[in-house]
């Protein structure tokens, strides 16, 4: 009898976790229980028989029931300010999507003549707007928003039997998805993994402001984007398109001007960005900025004199991800307090000498990328970051940059449709062969690993 993935997860998660617990090996009991819990959660995250957030909460609950940690410490992740940051930034992003502000910005951007001159300029137009918007709103939402316009261009060119349209179709869609993932690295609010990473660093006593993040992450994101474009330019160098046809579809979509509601949303968003940058000079919590800016949207009125956001819109918050964040931060705390992270750190320190620290850091980056290919990048950071922190403490290495670069690496999984939601969305159009995604994704992953490794060595000065 064939067992589907979800059923297999429900069977093997508790089975393997139990076998791991009863197996005879030298590890303190609290750490052993925690290891079993983490394996249990990872299997359920990979197979997804239940929502990922509920898996995290079950893991934390088991830790409490088995006496690994008391309930107050167990759910400490729920009081972390980064949870408020996520909720506030999501509400701002939702207001932009609800009223079509993001689409209007995208169309105005894409209708610029500079992006409609040749094959690569069209791809730059779509991928650059994907890169820029995903710095501020969900990578998934950005990809989904641009997809209909890209498909419209592809279908129009297919009707005209344009030579090379199959390759062009694949690359315009892949660069939208990859551009969203890369752009999400650039700001703290660009990706859930960034917020989780900041949460772990703050629990270790590191204060990282919005501007601090941008100074480190934005240049990396830009460099990765340029690598993507250069590779794409090489792959489509022989394609000639009907650029007037492309212009027609873009201009025909540009129907609405910004109204007063749109201006109010943009101002609230602009206020948040201004205060996030200002927080580097004046001590203003980023989470408070997000909450205050989002609150304005419940006060300001739209064209019909209704609040721009209503109580009903609060239901649209991705509560599954919020609970996953909170549960994940709590699991990270349990990994540390149970002694599991220290135990793993001690074992790894035996394998790598102090002189091999560069090799170890590069190994962490590669492992993060590979794990993220088959698992949620948020889940990867949740389980892996506490272990990285513990290992580096064994070597008396400052954890700040290594943890940041592991977080960056979790957004650089490009090869498989399951690696990220943007990948899955564009692959689902059937315009992309799996081999094309793997080849393009492999090039970007190698480039990402090299870039991150070299820059990490530069930053830590080892």
Is pLDDT at 76 greater than 80 in this prediction? no
276-299 in b/e burial notation, b at 16+ Cβ within 10 A? beebbeeebebbebbbebbebbee
- Mean pLDDT (whole number) for 356-376: 80
**What is d(CA 112, CA 359) in angstroms, rounded to the nearest whole number?**
46
Report the 10 Å Cβ neighbour count for 310: 12
| Residue 329: C-alpha distances to residues 30, 79, 80, 213, 220 (Å) | 18, 10, 8, 20, 26
> How much is the pLDDT for 75?
82
Does residue 344 fall inside a structural domain? no
**Full 3-state SS string of the chain:** CCCCHHHHHHHHHHHHHHHHHHCCCCCCHHHHHHHHHHHHHHHHHHHCCCCHHHHHHHHHHHHHHCCCCCHHHHCHHHHCHHHHHHHHHHHHHHHHHHCCHHHHHHHHHHCCHHHCCCHHHHHHHHHHHHHHHCCCCCHHHHHHHHHHHHHHHHHHHHHCCCCCHHHHHHHHHHHHHHHHHHHCCCCHHHCHHHHHHHHHHHHCCCCCCHHHHHHHHHHHHHHHHHHHHHHHHHHCCCCCCCHHHHHHHHHHHCCCCCCHHHHHHHHHHHHHHHHHHHCCCCCCCHHHHHHHHHHHHHHCECCCCCECCCHHHHHHCCHHHHHHHHHHHHHHHHHHHCCHHHHHHHHHHHHCCHHHHHHHHHHHHHHHHHHHHHCCHHHHHHHHHHHHHHHHHHCCCCCHHHHHHHHHHCCCCCCCCCCCHHHHHHHCCCCCCHHHHHHHHHHHHHHHHHHHHHHHHHHHCC
The whole domain housing 95 covers 81-316
With beta carbons less than 8 A apart as the criterion, state whether 179 and 228 touch: yes
Tally the domains of the chain.
Answer: 1
- Mean pLDDT (whole number) for 342-366: 77
Does residue 366 fall inside a structural domain? no
- Mean pLDDT (whole number) for 82-90: 77
Quickly state the pLDDT bin for 163 (edges 50, 70, 90).
low
Does residue 426 fall inside a structural domain? no
Does residue 406 fall inside a structural domain? no
246-296: pLDDT as tens digits: 666 666 665 667 888 889 988 988 888 888 777 666 777 777 888 888 899
Largest CA distance in the chain: 70
Is pLDDT at 174 greater than 90 in this prediction? yes
Kindly state the percentage of the chain with pLDDT values over 90. Answer: 16
Does residue 236 fall inside a structural domain? yes
Does residue 427 fall inside a structural domain? no
Quickly state the pLDDT bin for 131 (edges 50, 70, 90).
very high
Quickly state the pLDDT bin for 19 (edges 50, 70, 90).
very high
> How much is the pLDDT for 448?
92
Does residue 375 fall inside a structural domain? no
- Mean pLDDT (whole number) for 315-319: 79
| Residue 420: C-alpha distances to residues 34, 178, 186, 377, 425 (Å) | 27, 9, 17, 8, 9
Q: What is the dihedral of CA 217, 220, 221, 224, to 10 degrees?
A: -160
Is pLDDT at 62 greater than 60 in this prediction? yes
Quickly state the pLDDT bin for 461 (edges 50, 70, 90).
low
29-38: pLDDT as tens digits: 888 998 899 8
Does residue 160 fall inside a structural domain? yes
**What is d(CA 57, CA 63) in angstroms, rounded to the nearest whole number?**
10
> How much is the pLDDT for 205?
85
Class of residue 154 by CB neighbours under 10 A (exposed 0-12, middle 13-18, buried 19+): buried
Report the 10 Å Cβ neighbour count for 353: 11
With beta carbons less than 8 A apart as the criterion, state whether 297 and 91 touch: yes
> How much is the pLDDT for 256?
66
- Mean pLDDT (whole number) for 11-34: 88
């Amino acid at each position: 009898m064939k067992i589907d993935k979800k059923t297999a997860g429900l069977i093997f998660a508790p089975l393997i976790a139990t076998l791991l617990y009863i197996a005879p090996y030298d590890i303190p009991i609290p750490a052993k229980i925690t290891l079993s819990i983490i394996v249990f959660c990872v299997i359920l995250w990979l197979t997804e028989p239940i929502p990922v957030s509920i898996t995290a909460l079950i893991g934390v609950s088991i830790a409490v029931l088995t006496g690994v940690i008391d309930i107050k410490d167990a759910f400490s992740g729920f009081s972390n300010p980064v949870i408020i940051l996520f909720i506030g930034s999501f509400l701002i992003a939702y207001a932009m999507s609800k009223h079509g502000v993001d689409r209007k910005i995208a169309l105005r951007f894409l209708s610029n003549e500079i992006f409609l001159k040749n094959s690569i300029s069209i791809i730059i137009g779509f991928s650059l707007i994907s890169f820029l918007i995903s710095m501020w709103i969900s990578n998934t939402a950005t990809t989904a928003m641009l997809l209909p316009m890209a498909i419209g261009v592809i279908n129009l060119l297919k009707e005209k039997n344009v030579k090379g349209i199959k390759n062009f179709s694949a690359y315009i869609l892949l660069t939208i998805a990859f551009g969203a993932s890369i752009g999400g690295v650039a700001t703290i609010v660009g990706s859930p993994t960034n917020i989780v990473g900041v949460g772990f660093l703050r629990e270790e006593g590191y204060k990282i402001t919005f501007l601090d993040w941008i100074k480190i992450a934005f240049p990396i994101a830009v460099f990765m984007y340029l690598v993507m474009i250069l590779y794409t330019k090489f792959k489509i160098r022989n394609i000639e398109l009907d650029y007037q046809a492309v212009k027609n579809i873009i201009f025909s979509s540009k129907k609405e001007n910004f109204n007063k509601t749109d201006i109010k949303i943009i101002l609230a968003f602009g206020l948040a960005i201004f205060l996030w940058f200002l927080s580097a000079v004046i001590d203003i919590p980023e989470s408070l900025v997000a909450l205050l800016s989002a609150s304005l949207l419940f006060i300001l009125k739209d064209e019909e004199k209704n609040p721009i956001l209503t109580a009903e819109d609060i239901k649209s918050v991705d509560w599954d991800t919020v609970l996953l964040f909170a549960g994940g931060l709590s699991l990270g705390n349990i990994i540390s307090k149970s002694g599991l992270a220290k135990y793993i750190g001690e074992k790894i320190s035996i394998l790598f000498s102090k002189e091999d620290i560069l090799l170890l850091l590069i190994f962490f980056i590669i492992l993060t990328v590979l794990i993220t290919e088959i698992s949620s990048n948020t889940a990867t950071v949740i389980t892996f970051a506490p272990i990285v922190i513990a290992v580096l403490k064994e070597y008396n290495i400052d954890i700040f940059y290594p943890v940041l670069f592991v977080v960056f690496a979790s957004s650089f999984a490009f090869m498989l449709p399951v690696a990220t939601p943007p990948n899955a969305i564009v692959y689902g159009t059937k315009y992309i062969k799996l081999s094309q995604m793997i080849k393009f994704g492999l090039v970007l992953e190698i480039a990402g690993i090299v870039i991150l490794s070299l820059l990490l060595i530069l930053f830590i000065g080892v």
